[in-house]
Amino acid sequence: MDLEEIKKFLIKEKEETEKFLKEIDEEIEKLKTSDEFEASDISEQFEEKQEFHIKKDILLEKLKNIDKALKKIEEGSYGICSICKKEIPIERLEINPLTETCVKCSQKE
């Protein structure tokens, strides 16, 4: 994999993440608008809603990291460890394109 392929992968990931986000928003909206339900369903609905919000937070965080990585590719600073400023081996980026640190630094953290 080279940088161009990683970029393509990230763009695809971004599209998918945005699609998931939209779906979750729709689910949350559905829960909001369902006004008729049994009293026993309320806690269940609440839990379901909480779950969607947790998922949403995870996706938003991911989206933020994808954008950050894409911006770095544009700027030419992608694949540089944010701690020691050394190049992160492409093999590591292939496994985790959103990583910002090299193996050494991530072990120290």
Among residues 31 and 105, whose Cβ is nearest to Zn ion?
Answer: 105
Q: Which of 21, 28, 80, 83 binds Zn ion (CB under 5 A)?
A: 83
Within 10 angstroms of residue 50's Cβ, the number of other Cβ atoms is: 10
Instruction: Taking each helix axis as running N to C, give the angle between helix 41-75 and helix 3-33, from 0 to 180 degrees, rounded to the nearest 10.
Output: 160
Minimal distance in Å, beta carbon 11 to Zn ion?
26
103 near Zn ion, rule: CB under 5 A: no
Q: Which of 6, 24, 81, 93 binds Zn ion (CB under 5 A)?
A: 81
Least distance from Zn ion to the Cβ atom of residue 92, Å: 10
37-41 — which CB contacts under 8 Å span 24+ positions?
A: none
Q: Which CB atom, from 28 or from 105, has the smaller least distance to Zn ion? A: 105
Q: Taking CB under 5 A as the rule, does residue 105 contact Zn ion?
A: yes
Residues 6+ away with beta carbon under 8 Å from 52: 24, 27, 28, 31
Scanning the structure block, which residue is given the tokens 């994808």? 66
Q: Is 84 in the site for Zn ion (CB under 5 A)?
A: yes
Q: What residues between 13 and 72 interact with Zn ion by CB under 5 A?
A: none
H helices of 1-109, in order, are: 3-33, 41-75, 90-95, 103-108
Chain contacts with Zn ion (rule: CB under 5 A): 81, 83-84, 102, 105
